[in-house]
């Protein structure tokens, strides 16, 4: 069995170590004897039908402008996959563009994919620093944020977590990210998955369940190093 991981726009959207999330998924699969295939998607490519996990990272406003038209082209297929419970992790720039729109601090409006019910407005102040959030499904999650965009969820949307330390979506309402079906949107860089293995294993388990059509219990791994990294990140001052 092979888990196919679709990496969206790795050339343009790969800030702050986000590629490390793909490597973490790959290694955690390999340690369990599960094969993986990384499919790098760039503008103009075709998205295969056998995608098991979707990943997209962060990028500058200029990078988001470069991929805007292509993302509009593939948005229906991505939306169909998300609605069919394909697990996904989208961070910062791609998180913003999975929403309805992103209005930069210069007034430019970048159209989003409309997959997640949210919008983002750029501000002059950047929200930067270490973040600790509490999530209902994964407990404490840690990461690092660096974004000028402030994201606001629709009333019916469910946040990924509640901010304990840091700014989160907008620095105002104590929400961080979004959880929609098996898709997680978040501002947490770092990368997030090596320090939060429960989140990584959620994506892997859901991918396996979609392929096998039955519940999957993953083989436990020795996460001592991951737990140490998590604790260290949680103690860092903002």
pLDDT tens for 8-49 read 999 888 877 889 999 999 999 999 999 999 999 999 999 999
Per-residue pLDDT of 188-213, as tens digits, reads: 998 999 999 999 999 999 999 999 99
Does residue 117 contact residue 154 with C-beta atoms inside 8 Å?
A: yes
Instruction: Spot the catalytic one: 7, 147, 183, 189.
Output: 189
* Predicted local confidence at residue 212, as pLDDT: 95
The predicted model scores a pTM of 0.96
Per-residue pLDDT of 120-169, as tens digits, reads: 999 999 999 999 999 999 999 999 999 999 999 999 999 999 999 999 99
Is 7 an active-site residue?
no
Instruction: Spot the catalytic one: 7, 29, 92, 183.
Output: 92
Q: Of 23-32, 100-109, 168-177, give the lowest mean pLDDT range.
A: 100-109
The percentage of residues in the chain with a pLDDT greater than 70, rounded to a whole number, is 100
Is 189 an active-site residue?
yes
**DSSP states along the chain:** -EEEEEEE-TTTS--TTTHHHHHHHHHHHHTTT-EEEEEEE-TTPPPPS---EEEE----HHHHHHHHHHHHHHHHHHHHHHHTT--EEEETHHHHHTSSEEE-TTS-EEE--SSSSEEEEEEEEEEEEEEEEEETTTEEEEEEEEEEEEEEE-TT---SEEEEES-TTTSSS-EESEEETTEEEE--BS-HHHH-HHHHHHHHHHHHHHHHSS---PPP---HHHHHHHHHHHHS--
* Predicted local confidence at residue 17, as pLDDT: 80
Check whether 217 has a pLDDT greater than 90: yes
Check whether 186 has a pLDDT greater than 90: yes
Compute the average pLDDT of residues 105-109: 89
């Amino acid at each position: 069995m092979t888990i196919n991981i679709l990496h969206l726009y790795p050339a343009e959207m790969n800030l702050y170590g986000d590629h490390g999330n793909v490597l973490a998924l790959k290694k955690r699969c390999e340690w369990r004897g599960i094969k993986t295939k990384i499919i790098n998607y760039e503008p103009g490519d075709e998205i295969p039908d056998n995608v098991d996990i979707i990943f997209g990272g962060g990028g500058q406003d200029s990078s988001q402008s470069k991929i805007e038209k292509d993302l509009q082209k593939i948005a229906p297929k991505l939306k169909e996959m998300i609605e069919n419970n394909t697990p996904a992790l989208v961070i910062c720039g791609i998180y913003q563009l999975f929403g309805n729109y992103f209005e930069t601090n210069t007034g430019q409006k970048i159209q989003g994919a409309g997959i997640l019910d949210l919008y983002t407005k750029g501000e002059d102040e950047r929200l930067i620093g270490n973040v600790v959030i509490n999530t209902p499904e994964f407990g404490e999650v840690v990461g690092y944020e660096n974004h000028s965009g402030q994201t606001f969820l629709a009333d019916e949307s469910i946040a990924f977590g509640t901010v304990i330390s840091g700014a989160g979506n907008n620095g105002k309402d104590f929400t961080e990210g979004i959880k929609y079906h098996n898709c997680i949107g978040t501002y947490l860089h770092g990368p997030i998955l090596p320090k939060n293995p429960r989140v990584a294993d959620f994506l892997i388990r859901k991918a396996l369940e979609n392929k096998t059509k039955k519940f999957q219990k993953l083989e436990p791994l020795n996460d001592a190093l991951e737990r140490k990294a998590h604790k260290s990140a949680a103690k860092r001052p903002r």
